[in-house]
A and B are shown apart, each in its own frame.
Chain A
Amino acid sequence: MALSVMLEQLVWPLAMVFAVLGGGVYLWAVLDGLAARSFGLPQAQSVWLTPLSRGTWLLIQQANSTEAPDLWAWRLAPALYLALAAVGLALVPWSQGWVATDLATSLVLWGSLEALATVVIFLQGWSANSHFALVGAYRYVALGLSYILISMFVLIGVALPAESLALTRIVASQQDVWNLVRQPLGLPLFLMVGLALTFRGPFNLADPRDLAGGTSVEVSGPPRLVWELARSAMLVAFSGIAATVFLGGWLGPWLPGPLWVMLKMLAILALLAWLGRWFAVMTPSRCLSLMWLILLPLAFVDLVWAGVVALL
């Protein structure tokens, strides 16, 4: 009895987390390749093979160093970012009783992960002891506060109809209507948080081209592989949370709950891949203006909207 409970509540959910982390990162790379091809960028080989080739190339490549880096911090930062992504994915409920970490405050934990990601990304840029990496780190910290606030407003909005901060309760509250419909501003705003959290597309302030790669300008070989894996893993974790809080998580007809979650995550990832390639990158000042002057007030409107709907 105890064994079956352990299997049901610990082993399988954790196995699911690691499987989705690995598979999700790979599928994200494939989706990004497909998006690139759809935008008219020819690929040298199959999009299914490219992530594997690239990964093995980085694995073979030398891990270089810079002059007097903070080596411990530099090597640790990608691993920490990956760990944050794994913790985030552990919060995603695959069905009513199938959650690796089912907390009454799982939404708060996700919020703290977003804040900690800012610290880890800054660490990656600062510890390289290189000017462009440092500027990328500064820029990301400047962006961090604004997107975290937007995320918090949006997530409090989805907690209101559920009257709970637990993700399982939030999914259950969408039995009749998904939050995507109930709070139409929520998902678009949250998608922008996802792009900012993983510094992609228009919100790529940390690793942009004008800084020749920003926080990863000096990184090569396996540490770069871990850093890129971590960025992708965080996006996978983000898609899990987005599918849970806006698309009804495991809810859906005919198919098993976990499959529904995965399909919804894939849809979010595909949308992010497309959005990330469609828009030009923003200048830092324009990005912050957009965040503070437009998106943050919109997030507040979303919260008021959610509160009024919850009261009615």
Chain B
Amino acid sequence: MAVGWLSRLAMRGPATVFPALGMHGEEALYRLAREPGITLVDTPRHATILLVAGGVPPHFHDSLRRVHDQLPAPFAALWYRSEPLLELQQPGSGKMDDLAALPDTIMDTCRRLMAGEQDTASRLLSDTPPHPWQGLGDDGHGGEGMMGGVPYGRPMAMPPTPDLRDGLALDILTFRLGPFFPLWPAGLEAEVTLQGDIVQQFSVLSAPYPRALPRVFLEAQKGPVAIAELERKRIRYHMRAFFHALRLAHLPDLARRALVLAEQCDSQPVEKLSKRFRAFERALARRGFFALYLPQGGTLDSEQSRTLKGFAARAAGVEDDVRQADEGYRRLGFSVLTQQAGDVPARWRQRLMEVEQSLGLIARAQQKGTVTAVTDVVELPHGAGSADGLLESLLPGLEWSEALATLASLDLAEVSPWPCP
């Protein structure tokens, strides 16, 4: 009786979801982030629902199994536009393709788990260490004295090495992160060596999944498209990027505002959008996004900027924008906006400036019905350069939080040949 009463109470709370993003799974994330009945969490330990959104390549299936088994019971896995793992492919496996129905399905699954109407998912892996104990010593520290050893196949946090900043000898800690780490781009897997809080080494093992862009960017490569529509999608892209950074900055309400603004881009009159965007911009400054959260580091040098292209290059002073060669844009008075610093705050300021510029372009393009003139190349919202080897040189020496803020300020994924679903 008491358990029933507790379960009924627990059922009324928000559903906690750990999103394991596959390819083209971001739409589910953005949809759920606006849902009051759903709380997105950053660790599987805090979740009741594992949402696998988008296709997961076979070489990540073992990683997915490990994430799956970290959820505490009772839990369930749902598969949005994703194929369940082989051992879970059975009727009622939680596979679904309808984005609109996703929030309700999640909340209903959570409710049934709490009520005991649905069994908790079964574990996929045996609860044993992945490698045998290989260390020495009575206390299991893994070596002679206090040093050495490879317990469970992993080296201990030894030996001390000089700190990158002050030369103080500290233990190092090496671990793998990704491809389902929700605080950096989906698909990115890396081996990270931390010394205290400082990134000493960062080795990319797997690049982020290719990023699908709105269809209009692909159509613009085949023929003229309305500039207003193109710029609306560009704003939406940048506002979604703000969502990720603002979550990291512990400003969930502003993160939600950024998403709402992104979703309103397609339908709202440009005057309303401009007003809301200016309020958003003011809130960023007042709430300490620049002054308290964003690090001054993560600076791209001129070669890195030119390689990366897009807004990141312009934030470092490179006047590179395909739109300046487009007659349609020139008629609307387009000019390339740049900054000089090339660091993390400069990239976010560049995005803000470009959103504001896009709002002006939309207003003028709508009046004149202007379309693009250049069709062979298109200025994509995140640039179209290569990020090979960038993180390996950019992140060492930064604190972990600064490294994540730097990652959030960049767009490292390649462009997918397919548009957003």
Contacts and interface: CB of A to CB of B under 8 A. Distances in A.
Contacts of A60: 6-7, 10, 74, 114
Given A40-B256, A61-B73, A210-B401, A204 B10 contact: no
B288 A212 contact: no
B37 interface: yes
Contacts of A49: 9, 12
Contacts of B248: 209-210
Interface stretch (A1-9, A82-90, A215-223, A232-240): A215-223
Contact of A283 (B46, B129, B295): B295
Of A40, A45, A60, A221, most B-chain CB atoms within 10 Å: A60
A138 interface: yes
Interface residues of A, number: 53
B250 interface: yes
B183 A210 contact: yes
Contacts of A45: 12-13
Interface string B182-221: 1100000000001011000000000000000000000000
Interface in A269-312: 277-286
A36 to B, nearest CB: 7
Interface stretch (A50-58, A170-178, A185-193, A253-261): A50-58
B401 A54 contact: no
A273 B74 CA distance: 31
B6 to A, nearest CB: 5
Interface in A220-246: 220-221, 224
Interface in A152-173: none
A105 interface: no
A194 interface: no
A44 B42 contact: no
A291 to B, nearest CB: 13
Contact of A209 (B11, B45, B129, B183): B183
B72 interface: yes
A77 to B, nearest CB: 16
Given A41-B252, A280-B292, A139 B13 contact: no
B289 interface: yes
Nearest to A52: B9
A280 B400 contact: no
B43 A281 contact: no
A279 B287 contact: yes
Contact of A284 (B16, B74, B399): B399
Range for the number of chain B residues in contact with chain A: 35 or more
Interface string B226-269: 00000000000000000000011111110011000000000000
A59 B401 contact: no
Given A138-B197, A212-B43, A280 B13 contact: no
A6 to B, nearest CB: 34
A148 interface: no
Contact of B197 (A52, A61, A135, A277): A135
A37 to B, nearest CB: 10
Contacts of B288: 202, 279-280, 282
Given A56-B9, A60-B10, A208-B401, A202 B292 contact: yes
A286 B292 contact: yes
A229 to B, nearest CB: 16
B249 A281 contact: yes
Contact of B292 (A52, A68, A281): A281
Nearest to B70: A64
A60 B72 CA distance: 10
A250 to B, nearest CB: 36
A280 B287 contact: yes
Nearest to B41: A213
Contacts of B41: 213
B404 interface: yes
A251 to B, nearest CB: 35
A13 B332 CA distance: 74
B250 A281 contact: yes
A278 B293 CA distance: 13
B197 A139 contact: yes
A211 interface: yes
Given A61-B73, A131-B194, A213-B43, A282 B293 contact: yes
Contacts of A68: 140, 152
Interface string A123-139: 00000000100110011
Contacts of A54: 13
A284 B46 contact: no
A213 B45 CA distance: 10
A56 B253 contact: no
Nearest to B38: A44
A210 B194 CA distance: 14
Given A62-B72, A212-B43, A281-B250, A43 B399 contact: no
A49 B252 CA distance: 21
A44 B13 CA distance: 7
10 contacts: A39-B253, A40-B253, A43-B36, A44-B14, A131-B175, A217-B45, A277-B253, A283-B399, A285-B399, A286-B295
Q: Which 10 A-B pairs have the closest CB atoms?
A: A53-B13, A62-B72, A220-B72, A280-B293, A39-B253, A281-B250, A212-B42, A42-B36, A44-B37, A57-B10
